[in-house]
A and B are shown apart, each in its own frame.
Chain A
């Protein structure tokens, strides 16, 4: 398949793997964080770690939009969904995320009208088709999905739709990376930058990472060869003693980002003073809300949401996993109380979550698998 196979070429991977190994200084350990959950998924889905030398390890970062939604926020969403005459619409991977009292799926089974959509525009269509219902879109994601949510609000405003609103849970990536860099138990040698977020925000916002924290960052694409090539670029920087922001994903990411998309976000949304992240706690200026000018499309204004906080279960270590302090399997409830079919922590829900990726794709010891897969 064009545009896919060329980025999954095993021979090229072998060659890159050799070059990465050659760059490893004896006795030194390298750990790189892939910020984006899409990268985590690629790494596990393709078994990419088989190509890395033992001294290079990957730490899975906080960039999975589903994983960072706190339970209380989901309870608020379910509260909205269970109000009379409401149709809640949501992306599929949000459906199974558990709140304090169950998930969208559970609420749907009890009678709430909750529908899966592929795009916020599908929600608009549902709103047009159901004029006597209040249609709410559960808006989640980083800067990658915020423009399409904002565009949808603009479209609804232009069409004069009265029965459509969004429950805005959009978050921004830079404050989360900052929180990780400021965390005292953090030991990283560099970052794989989130490719799709960067298509919107560009590469410049990462410059503080190189300048103030002396860590290199390479914006990486989502095919397995993209990730290997980005690791190679990080290794070259470390060898040369450089700390820069580089762009490996040039076929998609413009250095300055997408101005139009940024304008659209800015037109409809503004920064919240603070927002709670699952596992990371409250982070200042880390999320977006609907501007007062568009209040009639803001579900938080339309419905009196309870806004109750739900404490993470004590045994759940999503926070440490999101910060890369522990590996998924080191969590006390990993694979026992917390599994993909009955997740406790959100890292176990989305296929982009570090725990789910590890459980679904990597739940084995490497030596025994090497033996089994030998030709």
Chain B
């Protein structure tokens, strides 16, 4: 470029970004000036340890919504969703039952323990290989009940329909729901229908709520996990998310992969019959396995160490994830369990899962340690180490 005339850029400084200066001031007001003096095992904290402590303090602060408007990230199941729930809904509705923040509420009614949950479905496209929005709407709610140790009994179904939506498609969706309900052993006993103008929703949105009964004398929860426990998944991860993404046709990739949507109540029943060592179960939907493990690590103040090579992942899911630069650990499943069990019960739990068709591909993927608390660590297939944080941003909106 030498020899060419150089035109000089403008020298004036522009205005500054107010929101950024505000964020800096806000964070600084929560700093602990004495942090450097905190001792860890008798030694003064290294600079890096101080930074990590500072971050830890910030992360434990009360969640605050910084955005003025809802963005797609608030629906992704990751950090923004958690912030929205904690700072807005939990603050408004606060009560001891809600505060447990499990996939279902546990209610004591006249000596019986009931599980109660609700879920809305906005998946795009409505039909995809292996299922449709109807299967998801039944299985999703059934699974949210079952992972709390409940036997699902009754569901409600509410439909928001777009003007112009084909009745034949709605029939297909209703038929799928009927079949899914029969397979899961539940009845759809109440419902609601609303129609909005064309363009006000995308075909059909479905909300389901469900009630189940907890007959076993167990208490499951993300906060009950202890060092020495084992982490299992019930089968290959990420099938649903990748299937839906490919079904959108934007990527021009063809594959035989199908959604894993399935009711998990029976599988869970087999597992709970075989062992009393189960601490917590979750179905790995939005945010994937990684998000669940982060919730557990935080709720129980433990470290979770995952072996990447042990995580069952189909070739198609790995391939699509490589191309898109996403991590299968964050991709949604709709029929896969993440389970933490007492370490001594690992083999019993694994055998029970594998005895059921929906758990054939079950595997032990990691273990629980005491340090460093609240972190999920991954031993990578390459043999290195990294952390697995909660999902930030949204790789795939409207996955369920």
Contact = CB atoms under 8 A, between A and B. Distances in A.
A166 to B, nearest CB: 20
Contacts of A133: none
A333 B26 CA distance: 11
A207 interface: no
A310 interface: yes
Contacts of B303: 372
Nearest to B397: A116
A236 B70 CA distance: 54
B27 A333 contact: yes
B69 interface: yes
Interface in B54-101: 54-55, 58, 66-73, 79-80, 83
Nearest to A224: B382
A122 B383 contact: no
Interface in A351-375: 351, 359-365, 368-373
Contact of B315 (A1, A276, A364): A1
A44 B51 CA distance: 18
Contacts of A98: 17, 19-20
B386 A337 contact: no
B322 interface: yes
Nearest to A361: B386
A118 B1 CA distance: 33
Nearest to B8: A274
A228 to B, nearest CB: 9
Contacts of A99: 17
Interface residues of A, number: 75
B387 A336 contact: no
A284 B8 CA distance: 8
B371 A368 contact: yes
Contact of B27 (A45, A282, A337): A337
A interface majority secondary structure: mixed
Nearest to A102: B19
A230 to B, nearest CB: 15
B55 A284 contact: no
Contacts of B68: 106
Given A8-B381, A98-B17, A359-B389, A337 B26 contact: yes
A344 B1 contact: no
Interface string A278-311: 0000101100000000000000000000001111
B372 A364 contact: yes
Given A46-B384, A364-B377, A369-B377, A313 B389 contact: no
A363 B385 CA distance: 11
Given A96-B393, A369-B372, A101 B12 contact: no
Contacts of B67: 106, 109
B23 interface: yes
Contact of B305 (A44, A46, A336, A373): A373
A66 B1 CA distance: 25
Contacts of A13: 382-383
B9 A47 contact: no
B48 interface: yes
A49 interface: yes
26 contacts: A13-B383, A45-B386, A49-B384, A50-B385, A51-B384, A98-B20, A102-B19, A106-B71, A110-B69, A224-B382, A271-B1, A274-B7, A309-B14, A311-B15, A315-B24, A316-B20, A336-B30, A342-B23, A344-B20, A351-B325, A363-B387, A364-B372, A369-B372, A371-B371, A372-B371, A373-B379
List the 7 closest A-B pairs by CB distance, nearest first.
A47-B384, A309-B14, A335-B55, A337-B27, A10-B383, A273-B7, A282-B9
Given A47-B380, A364-B387, 4 more contacts: A51-B384, A274-B8, A308-B15, A365-B49
